[in-house]
Amino acid sequence: MNQYVTGAVIRALREKNKLTQYELADRLGVSDKTISKWETGKGYPDITLLEPIADAFRVSVTELISGNTVTNANVSANMMRSKFYVCPVCGNVIHSMGEAVITCHGIALTPLEEEQSDERHMILIERIEDEYYVRIEHSMTKEHYISFIAAAGSDSVQMVKLYPEGSAAARFKISGVKKILFFCNRDGLFSQDMVKGIDDRDRSHDDTEERLALEETAKRLFG
């Protein structure tokens, strides 16, 4: 039998919530001996009790089963702290403003960890009137493609979903944009910070070395 919630998790959450076995038992309508059996691995909660147990500990059922609780420190809802999740089965893209428990097709998803764009995932940014035109130098085949491009600021995230054999490009309103992110289905999430003095000019930068040199100059000029 596979354990779907361990006694160690129940005990840890009970102690974290400063509940005695008797107090938890009273909330769940069971005996304190039953709680003791769960915590020592001599029994398991009935599946109908999973939700009441999760409610007693103020966690989700998914957190209870996985043993990983989520504390969302993003209380100010700063969109620059956004998290992105991609389902490996259907390609579903999910966005949250902080830590979350996300599942899709029965799989518990973990937030993508972003890397700086590189020569194999070169991002080209051009200002056209009140928009940024963003293009990724990347193949767009059925096997290897860019799944989405997003523009993040302190109070908003704009996201464009892309598809194989389409164009790896998108347009975003300039206002407030501080970072561009994009996801490669093979290599993961990449990002490029917007740099004052470079990305607010009406031209694109097709050369990696040129952009790096301009970024260093911009840092000295604008801090």
* Separation CA 201–CA 20 (nearest Å): 63
Measured over the CA atoms of residue 136, residue 142, residue 144 and residue 146, the dihedral's sign is positive
Q: What percent of the chain has pLDDT over 90?
A: 41
Query: 209: how many CB neighbours lie within 10 A of its CB?
Result: 9
Report residue 216: phi and psi, to 5°.
Answer: -65, -40
What was the pLDDT predicted at 52?
92
pTM of the model: 0.62
The residues with which 152 forms a beta bridge, in sequence order, are 157, 179
Report residue 172: phi and psi, to 5°.
Answer: -135, 145
Average pLDDT over residues 133-141: 93
Name all domains of the chain by residue range, CATH numbers in brackets: 7-66 (1.10.260.40), 79-109 (no CATH), 115-222 (2.60.40.730)
pLDDT, the chain, mean: 83
Report residue 75: phi and psi, to 5°.
Answer: -70, -20
Residue 145 has pLDDT above 90, yes or no: yes
